[in-house]
């Protein structure tokens, strides 16, 4: 009814992840994402997010789509989660509907939701709620959907029976770590964002270090490499969710187009999509690298175009 593919419930007790997260921050692995270092206590204790929290409901939506068979000449790669509408808005809307459902049962219930936009550790809560386990790429792996899922969290004052966590089923597999183009996965489950293509092509507002240019390849926005090689993702089922279907603008816009596109056209063409997070200047910067990599493959000089 709510357009969700999976749901789990966890007890609203502290996560006990503070030491791990603090070490990650101290190592500088969060790069220039300063907001990640804020409110560390809140990330660990959901009661600082919702004081009367008794339960944490975690929802998941499958966003997987097969890649296009005949992409246009010169097309760049865009992470699958950004092919459709911005998931933040979609999942928040569905969590609001869930909140209304809860309030219809108990009008005194208090609830508060988060979709990757606040100091709530969605993946850790999803693991506690039994939706899956944290893979060596740091993403939650669901037995059916793999890691091609988007997560949302709803803390509520209503006491609900919690689900049991599931065992980690990665075993000795390290394909995600081996396949990472920049070796950003420095330990199982530990990502150094300073080396991550997804970070540099989306969150980084400055220049991308030249040492990563070649590894970026044709990636205009994000990187799915660690997910593409995961054995749990090989059975990917195409989502039927209309909100996550690929928009024509994603499938038809080539890297060169961004160099001549004005801000108004960019906003219009990609309205309501996550691609706008990198802003036009960021996508242009990425496009120059992609074009230079393409020229290098053709044996031409490898200079980023102006």
In tens, the pLDDT along 18-39 reads 678 889 999 999 999 998 888 8
Confidence (pLDDT) at 1: 57
pLDDT of residue 272: 95
| pLDDT in the model for residue 186 | 97
- How far apart (Å, rounded) are the C-alpha atoms in residues 116 and 55? 19
Q: Which of 69-73, 168-172, 242-246, 262-266 has the lowest mean pLDDT?
A: 69-73
In what side-by-side order are the strands of the sheet with 149-156? 6-11, 55-62, 149-156, 111-114
Catalytic residue positions, numbered? 116
Q: For residue 102, is pLDDT > 80?
A: yes
Give the distance, in angstroms, between the CA of residue 236 and the centroid of all CA atoms in the same chain: 17
For the chain, which residues make up each domain, given as ranges? 6-66+80-156, 175-297
pLDDT score for 240: 95
Tell me what the pLDDT averaged over the chain comes to. Answer: 93
Dihedral sign computed on CA atoms, order 96, 4, 193, 203: negative
What is the reported pLDDT for 298?
62
Average pLDDT value for residue range 278-302 = 85
| Model confidence at 296: pLDDT above 80 | no
Per-residue pLDDT of 53-81, as tens digits, reads 999 999 999 999 999 888 888 889 999 99
pLDDT digits (tens, 9 = 90+) for 195-216: 999 999 999 999 999 999 999 9
Q: 297: pLDDT confidence band, cut at 50, 70 and 90?
A: low
Residue 185, pLDDT > 60, answer yes
Q: Do residues 153 and 57 make contact, with C-beta atoms less than 8 angstroms apart?
A: yes
Q: How sure is the predictor about 160, in pLDDT bands with cuts at 50, 70 and 90?
A: very high
| pLDDT value for 3 | 82
pLDDT higher than threshold 50 for residue 265: yes
- Average pLDDT in the 36-60 region? 92
Residues whose CB is less than 8 angstroms from the CB of residue 299 and which lie 6 or more positions away in sequence, other chains included: none
Burial of residue 32 (number of CB atoms within 10 Å: 0-12, 13-18, 19+): middle
- Of 68-77, 227-236, 240-249, least confident by mean pLDDT is 68-77
Q: pLDDT at residue 306 above 50?
A: no
% of residues, the chain, pLDDT over 90: 83
Q: Is the pLDDT of residue 300 over 60?
A: no
The yes-or-no verdict on residue 170 having pLDDT over 70 is yes
User: What pLDDT does residue 39 have?
Assistant: 82
**C-alpha 302: how far from chain center:** 31
Indicate whether 299 pLDDT > 70. Answer: no
* Cα Rg of the chain (Å, integer): 20
Residue 113 has pLDDT above 70, yes or no: yes
């Amino acid at each position: 009814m709510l357009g969700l593919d999976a749901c789990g419930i966890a007890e609203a007790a502290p996560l006990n992840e503070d030491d791990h997260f603090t070490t990650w921050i101290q190592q500088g692995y969060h790069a220039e994402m300063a907001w990640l270092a804020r409110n560390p206590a809140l990330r660990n204790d959901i009661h600082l997010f919702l004081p009367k929290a008794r339960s944490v409901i975690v929802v998941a939506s499958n966003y997987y789509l097969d890649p296009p068979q005949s992409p246009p000449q010169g097309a760049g790669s865009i992470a699958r989660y950004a092919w459709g509408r911005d998931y933040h808005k979609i999942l928040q809307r569905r969590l609001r509907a869930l909140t209304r459902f809860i309030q219809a049962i108990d009008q005194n219930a208090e609830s508060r939701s988060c979709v990757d936009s606040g100091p709530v550790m969605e993946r850790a809560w999803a693991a506690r709620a039994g939706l899956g386990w944290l893979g060596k790429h740091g993403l939650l792996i669901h037995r059916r959907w793999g890691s091609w899922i988007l997560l949302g969290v709803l803390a509520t004052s209503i006491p609900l029976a919690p689900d049991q966590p599931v065992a980690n089923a990665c075993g000795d597999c390290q394909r995600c770590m081996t396949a990472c183009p920049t070796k950003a996965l420095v330990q199982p489950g530990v990502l150094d964002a300073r080396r991550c293509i997804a970070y540099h092509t989306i969150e980084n507002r400055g220049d991308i270090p030249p040492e990563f240019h070649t590894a970026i390849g044709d990636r205009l926005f994000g990187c799915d490499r660690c997910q593409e090689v995961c054995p749990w993702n090989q059975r990917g089922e195409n989502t039927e969710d209309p909100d996550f279907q690929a928009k024509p603008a994603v499938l038809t816009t080539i890297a060169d187009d961004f160099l001549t596109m004005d801000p108004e056209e960019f906003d219009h063409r990609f309205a309501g999509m996550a691609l706008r997070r990198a802003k036009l200047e960021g996508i242009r910067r990425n496009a120059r690298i992609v074009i230079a990599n393409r020229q290098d493959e053709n044996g031409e000089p490898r200079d980023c175009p102006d």
